[in-house]
Chain A
Amino acid sequence: MSDVSVAPVAPTGTLRRLMRRKLALFGLAIIAVVLGGAVFAPWIAPYAPDDQLFEGLTLFGEPMPPSGDFLMGTDLLGRDLFSRMLYGAQTSLIIGVVANGIALLIGTLVGVVAGFVRGWVGAVLMRFTDLMMAFPALLLAICLAAIFQPSLWIVAMVIALVNWVQTARVVYTETTSLAEREFIAAERTLGASQTRILFKHILPHLVPTLIVWGTLGISVTVLLEATLSFLGVGVQPPTPSWGNIIFENQTYFQAAPWLVFIPGAAILLLALAFNLVGDALRDVLDPTQRGND
C-alpha cells in the first residue's frame, strides 16, 4: 500500500480509500442522486408537486401507471409521482439526516457523559433515558407534534427527541467499558485532563458504533415521519414526503402498486446506501484495518 504513511486525519487519504471500495462507491452514488434530486427538484420536476393534473387521471378517475408522460405514473389525485418523489426527497433527507443526526448527537452526549462521569450525574441521566425508553415513542411524538404547530422542522425536532435513547444506552455501555481499559489508566498517569481523555481517547473509539447506529437510524426516522404524517401530525399535505406518499396510497396498493412500490424502494435504497457508506467508513477509519482494502 502506498498511503500507509499518510496521516490518519488527511481527508484526501480517507476519501481515496473509501472510493476504492465498490460497494461504498455504489452507496455514495445513490446518495448523490437523491441529494441532487432534492436540491434541483424545482428545475428537474416536470410538474408542480401539488398540481392535480386533468390528464393525470384516466376517464374512470383512476391513477395512471408509469408512462412517457408520467415517468412514475400519477397518484389518486392525478399528481405526477416523479415530481412528488423529487420534492419528497427534500423532506425525507431532512428527516433522515438532520433529525437523525440531532438524535445521534443528543444520544452520544448523554451516553458519554453518563458513562464517563458516573456518580449521581450519570445515574440521573441514565434513569431519565430509561424513562424515555419505557414511554411509547409514538405516543410521545403525537403529543409533542400536537402541542406545536406541525411543520417540517417541528417534525424533525420531535423525531430527534424520541430517537436518541437507544444511542444513549449503547454509547453509555461502551463508554463505561472503554473507561476501564488500561490505556485510559495510562493516560491518567500521564496527567491527562478529563476532557482530553474524553475527546482524544474515548470519542474516537465510539465512532464505529455511532456510524452503525446513525445509518440504522435513517430508515427508522424516515418511517417514523411517515407514521406521523399518516396520523395527521407529521408533514402536512399537500407537502410530499416519501413516507406520506406510501401512506396516502396504501389502500390502493392492488390497483396501483407503483404508488407504494416506488417510494418504498426509494426509502430502502437510501437506507442501504447510507449503510454501505457507513460500513466502509468504519473500516477505513479503523487503523487496525489498514491494508485490508
Chain B
Amino acid sequence: MFFLLVALPAALQAQEEGQGAALTLRGYGLYDFHYATGAIGGAALALDWQPSPTFALSLGAEYASTNRISANLQGEAVLAGSAKAGCLALRNRYLWRHYPSLDLQEFTSALELVGHLRHWDLNLGLCNRYTAALVQRSDGGGATVLEPMNVMFALEGWWRDRAAAPAWNVGVRWSSYNDFVIERVANWFFSLRGFYSLSDKVRLTGEVGIHPVGSLNLTASYDGWFGHLGVAARL
C-alpha cells in the first residue's frame, strides 16, 4: 500500500506494512489563497523511493503561478523504535526556491518522535533550518539565515481503522508543518485530508485546510485556505 498522506514518515508506514523497496509517483494540482498574496495555482510532482523499510528518499518539484519554482530532495530515516510502538525519526530536506529577484536554498533537519495508533498519529519534533540566498551581496558578504530549534507538531485522526487497510479514509490534522511536496515549517493550521484507492496501485488523494497567520502569541487572523488534489501511483 501507499505511504502517502499520513503523519508518519514514509519509511515507517512501509515498515508497518511489511514492504520492501517501493517506488511511488505523485502528481498534484494545488490551489492556495491568501488574503495577503492572492490566489496561487500550481502543480507538483514527486517521486518517492524506499529502498528499505527504515529509509526513504523523495524528489519533488513544484511550479506556482506566481512564477515560483521549487524543487526538493528529502530523506527520512527511522533511528529507533517501530511503527506500532512509536519511534524516533530523522528527516532532512534540501529545498531550492526560485523567485524573480531571488534564489533561495534551504536545508532543514528535523528530529521527530512519532506515535502511531490505528486511528491517530502524533508527531512532535524540533527542526533547524538554514537558508542561503544564491544572489550574493554586492559587497561580497554572506547571505544566510539560521532558524534554530523550531517545534514541529502534528496531530492527526483518521475516521476508519487503518489496520484494516480501508479503500478510503478521511482524517483531520492539526499541525505546524505540511509534508505536502514542497513546504517549510509554517504557522499551525487545521486541515481535512483523505484518500480513495482506485486499485492496489493507484490512489486519489486530497486535502483542504485553512491558513492562520499569527497564532498563539498573536491575535489570530485567518488568512486564507488551500487545497491539494492529486493522484499517486505505485510503480
Do A and B belong to a common assembly? no
Show the binding face of B for A, using Cβ within 8 Å. none
